Amino acid sequence: MKLRANLVIGGTLFALAVLVGVLAPWLAHTDPVLDANLMNAEEPPSWTWWFGTDDQGRDIYSRVVYGARVSLTVGIVSQLINSVIGVALGLSAGYWGGWWDDVVNALTNVMLAIPSLIFALAIMAVLGPGLTSLLIALGLTNWSFTCRIARASALSLRNQGYVQAATVLGYGDLRIMMTQLLPNMLGPIVVIGTLGMGSAVLSEAALSFLGLGVRPPFPSWGSMLSDARDQITTAPWLSVFPGLAIFLTVLGLNLLGDGLRDILDPHSRSRRT
Amino acid sequence: MTGAPLIEVEDLRIDLDDGERRVAAAEGISFRIDRGETFGLVGESGCGKSITALALIGLLRPPLSIGAGMIRFDGREIQHLSAAAQRDLRGNRIAMIFQEPMTALNPVSPVGRQIAEMFVLHKGNSWREAHQLAVEALASVRVPAPERRVNDYPHQLSGGMRQRVMIAIALACGPDLLIADEPTTALDVTVQAEIIELMRNLCAERGTAILMISHDLGLVANVCRRVAVMYAGRIVEERGSADIFRTPSHPYTQGLVDSLPRLGSRAALGRSRLKEIAGVVPAITNFPDGCRFNPRCAHATDICRSVAPTADLLEAGGLVRCHHHA
Amino acid sequence: MEAVEGRKKVPMLSFLIRRLLQTIPTVLAVVLLVFVLFSVVPGSIVSSMSDDADPQVELRLKKQLGLDDPVHVRFGAYIAKLATGDFGTSFRTREPVTAMLAKRAWPTLQLIFAAMAFSVVLGVPLGFIAALRPGGLVDSAAMIVAVTGLSIAKFWLGLVIMYVFALKLGWLPSFGYGDGGLKYLLLPALTLGVSPMALFARTTRAAVLEIMTADFVRTARSKGMSETRVVKWHVMRNALVIILTTVGLQFGGLMGQAVVVEKLFSWPGIGSLLVDSVLQRDIPAVQGSILVVVLAFLAINLLVDLLYGVIDPRIRYA
Amino acid sequence: MMFRMTAIVAGMALALAGSAEAQTPRKGGTIRMTAPYGSSFTSLDIHTTQRAQDEIYAKALHRSLYTWDSAEGKPVPELAKEVVVSGGGLVHTFKLRDDAYFHDGRKMTADDIIWTFNRIMDGTKAYPGARYVRIIEGAAAVEKGQAKEISGLKKIDDFTLEMKLTEKVDPGFYFFTALTSIYPADEGAKDSFIQHPIGLGPFKFVEHVPGSRIVLERWDKFYKPGKPYADKVIVSIMGEAAARDVAFRNKEIDTSVLGPAQYVAYQADPNLKGTIVEVAEVFTRYMGMNPAFKPFADKRVRQAINYAIDSDLIISKLVKDKAYRATSWLPLTSPAYDKTMKPYPYDPAKAKQLLSEAGYPQGFEFEWTTSQNESWGLPIVSAVIPMLDKVGIKVKVKQVETAVLAEVVRTGDYQAFIYSQQSGPDPLAALKCFHSSTPQPACNYMNFRNPDFDKILDEAGQADDSAKRTQLLQKANAFLYEEAPVWFFNYNKAVMAVQPWLHGIQKNPTELTHQNTEELWVDDTSPAK
């Protein structure tokens, strides 16, 4: 019963966030960047301005709505990069073994040794702020767990009868990996991916706070929240709404991840992701 | 059957509650075991024998619970005792050995300590005394160099050694009843006999009754004086060991006996012997009406498909639950 | 007869040495990675020193710092100096980076260990309590708190904590290191500790629930043990093995998050040094900071590995 | 009732504050200042760092030849009792104080000053103060390694120093910042100095916790009688404005620099309103336009941009009036500021017309390089984008770190950038940045070259009469207005909140956080011991 509550609430929250992002042009009242009118600066929430306006007179509601695009892009794309790297390296290392396995192992150890936020910070510093840099920075620094799981599954699966049968049938390595191994490890990978998306959204906020976030004027929740921190007492709505958006989305992803884990990966309740 | 029985089970029902509905995983279970007696409970996996044993020792956990019936131990009804009172019995007067000695012992605790716990729990010994008693207990189950072995961890022992430790734990407080749930199934064939022998001897010395649970009718008949056969949550036949081989009354028992290899080669065979009864065991949630064995029974008639048979007393002693028993 | 596994006790020292040797390639790779990363950094190095230095001076300075050499030569020189414990000279402060790091190490260690202590002391028991009655009120409440703690942006949480505990309640100072006293440590450590606490509560709960279904727990119950004793004598230690893994890994996350918390609370640790150095293109200091964090993380995990041996007898340093 | 109560309490607080000002300065106590520009001090060797952050502590620890007199609005001699000018305005003879002691107890002499200036010109070190010392004859030769000592510095006796300049300027504008702090000769070169600096200031060094704070204590042999007042100065590093706000409200710090948002909040709060100190600083915020980028080569386009942006609106709404509208380059506090000048009005129609005349009726697109800075960075750019959009000009934002921006600006690698540049206190030096002879990396960031402008400025430099000089400078300033090499945005208004118990704050337009600490004192209502 409880398990389903996780899944339903989490799934709903996340789906809602995605929907808002996709439908942003229809949901938003104004353009999030150009419709700045300093005459309307810092209006509190009202019927006209649902979430109030910011110090440049932009509609916060519209910015939060458009912010979903940026923040979710960061979450989804960067985690996708992580998953692809992790699976590609882990799967091939586990399947082929040998020196390649050693190389991947060493690489994973290096990645595990550098805290991912610090690594992302360094990459951002080199690439400069901006969405692309952010996707690269967060996409390159959080694949080690996926890699480990993929490697472990590949190791245990490659000696299974059906995989060996495929080998005997003369299937190519790539085909075996894609058709025989990958589908069997997808469960835990999806779970890690879901939780990873949540932490990517939070990392975006943290990097914004450190001054290395998405390049405005396009709004992201993290940069909105970070920019609003000085006005927490004078104009709390500036931070409340993007803050809530981050919180609900990450909460949704965490619940969804938990729920998915119960279904897809029942044996690893205690495994850390 | 003389004197007051050690344990008496009457019309016990065990419920399985999966949150949506409640089904009886076992029902109508009645049997008795006298002091020092050996009693066997035989059946395929899923027939309810293990949960019956857990019910006796009070270890049923949700979603399983006792739905009805009575368990009388040493003249006292124990199914409704307080948790604390049940704990006093458990381990102390009713002990249990489990199937998998590999996982039944705590991997991060020295075996000596796991034995010593019994003395601390039930006999009020200090840890120091308990430790000494644990060494003696290990010696009694014929573990070599017990002074050294007490400090070993389970992974440092072989399967047989671990099961000896389990026996030492179970018998530590000199219980009246030892429940042995498939005690040798996980062991090498060569070790099995040693363990059975050890268990039987120790219990005989101490006057401990044994309730042995197994899928292996041959093994049980060999160890126990009386045997009950369970099928799909019910006891279908209960007889003296010798009788049940000679004149099995229930078609299921018949099938079990027939599937046994000839004497002498029994120990050499694995666990696939029950396969020879056609058909499959029905799921708990989907027991057939009437006699639960009817879909697999060669002698089934209309009545078998509609009316559940009652337990009939046999003239030669024992019980059977069949409309057509001999 | 029954085969008995011998008890091989490889001395801990040789285990330690081997593990240390194993970390050398990792450390080298990290050094290389950071070095290469920052060899393409935009903005000239000298501009971080002076606004309008004479072009001649700039050239001379570059030569002096060896910045005209090809990358591999510079890398070699850097490694050679590292081997003697010399992290180079900061472009920004012109101090030896080693000395700068040394001054920053203690506050960061204080912060991280305080946060870790707080999160373990609170999170683990919370997880235990929640696991004892899964689905119960305490469990639900604890897990809601935990998943909430994992979903909040850290700097935001820190601000709120600062407002509540320093300004509204006036219990503790809101910022800084002060005289290094405990009262200055509490709020940053609390901020840093919330999400690991949530994580530990969840991990512990899951671990305990899993262990509670183990056969040996049933054995323990069959001995007539109360649930409390079952947990104390048999579940706890097994759960610790799992929790310890999480703790070790979480140190890395803490070091990353410490950057944010240190900046917010003006805490004089490696994290704030790193941010400052990154923003001001002080490459030797950036390299040094990252390297120290990595070394600390590896050292802590080595310690965790040693602890495994203490908690879990199945692990022998073979 | 509540409102009246508050009003009365506030009134009483004001009355108390008023009477407190009249009190005689209290001796003792601790001053708790904050350093708001980042999360560390760069170095304890103040010669190596030009960040405003570092000068905050240096003002307590060190002394330079001159100091900025906020009341007078100009630099005045600090370590000299008298300065005699001769040699056509190029030779300055300093009669030095004979009562200035370094914190190790040694008396300062002319040798220390000569040693210090030679050190700053060490070409292998690229000390930022070299830019000032270069005004002394022979200094550049030392920097290039052609000489060992600056030829233009001569010790007459222990307390008399002769300085020959290369140009006719007031050396006060060159030698008042901490970049030219006087170090004890030889001591200053030791390795231990950077761990435990020694200066001439009113407070001596006690400890530095990197990334946290610097603690200083009273120097009893300071040369001004009866000063300093306080026993101790603590300068805490607090880069986070939101955190600083909490600490100030919580009375944990005595000073806090306010950003626009907090400026508004503090003005609105009756308990905090009285703590605000504000001053017009000598910084001009502007958007620089690269003449090498074709549209910006046309003066009409540059003017059109000035017309198209509603600067007043941005200043009132976004900067929260924490700035003064810029008319041209020279700031309000500049001695050569022309009060009659009017800024470019907001006139999009005029802007469109100018663009058409320049051949851009449909507008054009340019890339605007900016930092994150809240007062002269991204938020401003974001507000300007829609305004320029209205006249057809599209903007592509390129965001970089402040350090990178400094590099971009110096190398001219931009189409447009937004920046804050020091435009005082010396008006001549400020306008010199637009002189053809000034190379782009020095401070001529727009690579401005105009012979007519050069002529006016050269005349001003030669003028002996100060009124004439001022008039010429005003003319040059008006010339810049017309040429519009930049979008003239605003002059900074520095705002600092100061706790009611801290007295003697000087309204320093060069940088409000730079306080002569010997003038500061705390009364006994301070919660600090």
Note the pLDDT of residue C5.
Answer: 42
Residue D17: CB atoms within 10 Å: 15
Do the two chains C and D touch, given a threshold of 8 Å on CB pairs and at least 3 pairs?
A: yes
* Residue A267 touches chain C, beta carbons under 8 Å: no
Buried b (16+ CB within 10 A) or exposed e, C206-221: bbbbbbbebbbbbbbb
Mutation target to probe the B interface, by most B beta carbons within 10 A, among C1, C2, C133, C231 is C2
**Under an 8 A CB cutoff, do A202 and C30 touch?**
no
- What CATH code is carried by the domain that includes residue D471? 3.10.105.10
Smallest Cβ–Cβ distance between B98 and the set C215, C233, C238 belongs to: C215
- Asked whether residue D27 is domain-assigned, the answer is no
pLDDT at position C70 over 80: no
Distance CA D76, CA D451 (A): 34
Mutation target to probe the C interface, by most C beta carbons within 10 A, among B106, B149, B198 is B106
pLDDT at position D394 over 70: yes
Higher-pLDDT residue of D403, D364: D364
Per CATH, is B7-93+173-320 categorized as 3.30.1490.20? no
Average pLDDT over residues D231-252: 90
Per the CB < 8 A criterion, the answer to whether B13 and B67 are in contact is: yes
Task: Choose which CATH entry (3.40.50.980, 2.30.30.60, 3.40.462.20, 1.10.3720.10) describes domain C104-311.
Answer: 1.10.3720.10
Note the pLDDT of residue D1.
Answer: 35
| pLDDT tens column, C176-227 | 787 777 888 888 998 999 989 988 988 888 888 888 888 889 889 888 888 8
Global pTM reads: 0.78
Smallest Cβ–Cβ distance between D144 and the set C56, C262, C263 belongs to: C56
Residue B3, beta-bridge partner list: none
pLDDT at position C15 over 70: yes
Per the CB < 8 A criterion, the answer to whether D327 and D334 are in contact is: no
What would the 3-class secondary structure string for B79-146 be? CCCCHHHHHHHECCCEEEECCCHHHHCCCCCCHHHHHHHHHHHHHCCCHHHHHHHHHHHHHHCCCCCH
Is B42 strand, coil or helix?
A: strand
Binding partners of C (≥3 Cβ pairs within 8 A): A, B, D
Same domain, residue pair D69 and D92? yes
**Under an 8 A CB cutoff, do A235 and D261 touch?**
yes
Distance CA D127, CA D102 (A): 22
Binding partners of B (≥3 Cβ pairs within 8 A): C
Note the pLDDT of residue D9.
Answer: 39
pLDDT at position A64 over 60: yes
The region of weakest confidence among A67-71, B162-166, C230-234, C310-314 is: C310-314
Kindly give the parts of chain B with pLDDT less than 50.
Answer: 1, 264-275
Do the two chains A and C touch, given a threshold of 8 Å on CB pairs and at least 3 pairs?
A: yes
Which residue in chain C has the smallest CA separation from B166?
C219
Same domain, residue pair D226 and D360? no
Residues of C in contact with A232 (CB under 8 A): 159, 163
**Under an 8 A CB cutoff, do B118 and C223 touch?**
yes
User: C-alpha angle with apex B122: B121 to B124, nearest 5 degrees?
Assistant: 80
* Residue D385 touches chain A, beta carbons under 8 Å: yes
pLDDT at position D498 over 90: yes
Same domain, residue pair D49 and D168? yes
Domain residues for D138? 12-16+42-236+499-522
Mutation target to probe the D interface, by most D beta carbons within 10 A, among C40, C48, C54 is C54
Per CATH, is A76-213 categorized as 1.10.3720.10? yes
Smallest Cβ–Cβ distance between B91 and the set C5, C224, C238 belongs to: C224
Q: Which run of H or E residues covers position D261?
A: helix D260-268
| pLDDT tens column, B8-61 | 888 889 888 877 778 888 888 888 898 888 999 988 877 888 889 888 888 888
**Under an 8 A CB cutoff, do D265 and A130 touch?**
no
- What CATH code is carried by the domain that includes residue D89? 3.40.190.10
Note the pLDDT of residue D80.
Answer: 93
Smallest Cβ–Cβ distance between C224 and the set B92, B103, B153 belongs to: B92
Domain count, chain D: 2
Strand locations in D354-451 (E): 365-370, 394-399, 416-422
Q: Is the ipTM of this complex over 0.85?
A: no
**Under an 8 A CB cutoff, do D385 and A35 touch?**
no
Average pLDDT score over chain A = 81
Residues of B in contact with C238 (CB under 8 A): 106-108
Which residue in chain D has the smallest CA separation from A38?
D317
Quickly list H helices, D465-516.
466-483
- Asked whether residue D199 is domain-assigned, the answer is yes
Average pLDDT score over chain D = 88
**Under an 8 A CB cutoff, do D397 and A216 touch?**
yes
CB pairs under 8 A between A and D: 78
CB pairs under 8 A between C and D: 157
* Residue D119 touches chain C, beta carbons under 8 Å: no
Note the pLDDT of residue D13.
Answer: 40
Average pLDDT over residues C58-64: 66
Same domain, residue pair D300 and D211? no
Strand locations in D210-304 (E): 213-218, 232-237, 255-257, 276-289
Note the pLDDT of residue B184.
Answer: 80
Q: How confident is the model at residue A36 (pLDDT cuts 50, 70, 90)?
A: low
Task: Kindly state the tokens that stand for D529.
Answer: 């011991």
Percent of chain D residues past pLDDT 70, beyond the cut? 95
**Under an 8 A CB cutoff, do C238 and B107 touch?**
yes
Sign of the CA dihedral with C9 first, then C11, C15, and C21 last: negative
Is C32 strand, coil or helix?
A: helix
**Under an 8 A CB cutoff, do B89 and C224 touch?**
yes
Residues of B in contact with C216 (CB under 8 A): 103-107
Note the pLDDT of residue B266.
Answer: 47
Higher-pLDDT residue of A23, B265: A23
Q: D420 to chain C nearest CA, in Å? A: 14
List A residues 77-106 in contact with C (Cβ-Cβ < 8 A): 106
Task: Kindly state the tokens that stand for D261.
Answer: 């948002």
Task: Kindly state the tokens that stand for C293.
Answer: 């964090």
| pLDDT tens column, B270-292 | 444 444 677 777 777 778 888 88
**Under an 8 A CB cutoff, do D236 and C107 touch?**
no
Smallest Cβ–Cβ distance between C151 and the set A206, A232, A250 belongs to: A250
Edge-to-edge strand list for the sheet holding B177-181: B94-97, B177-181, B209-214, B38-42, B226-231, B234-240, B319-320, B312-313
Distance of CA C126 to the CA centre of its chain: 22
* Residue D264 touches chain A, beta carbons under 8 Å: yes
Q: How far apart are the first and last CA of chain B?
A: 24
**Under an 8 A CB cutoff, do B107 and C314 touch?**
yes
Do the two chains B and D touch, given a threshold of 8 Å on CB pairs and at least 3 pairs?
A: no
| pLDDT tens column, A172-208 | 788 888 777 888 788 888 888 888 898 898 888 888 8
Which residue in chain C has the smallest CA separation from D439?
C52
List D residues 139-158 in contact with C (Cβ-Cβ < 8 A): 143-144
Binding partners of A (≥3 Cβ pairs within 8 A): C, D
Nearest to D210 by CA among C174, C43, C274, B39: C274
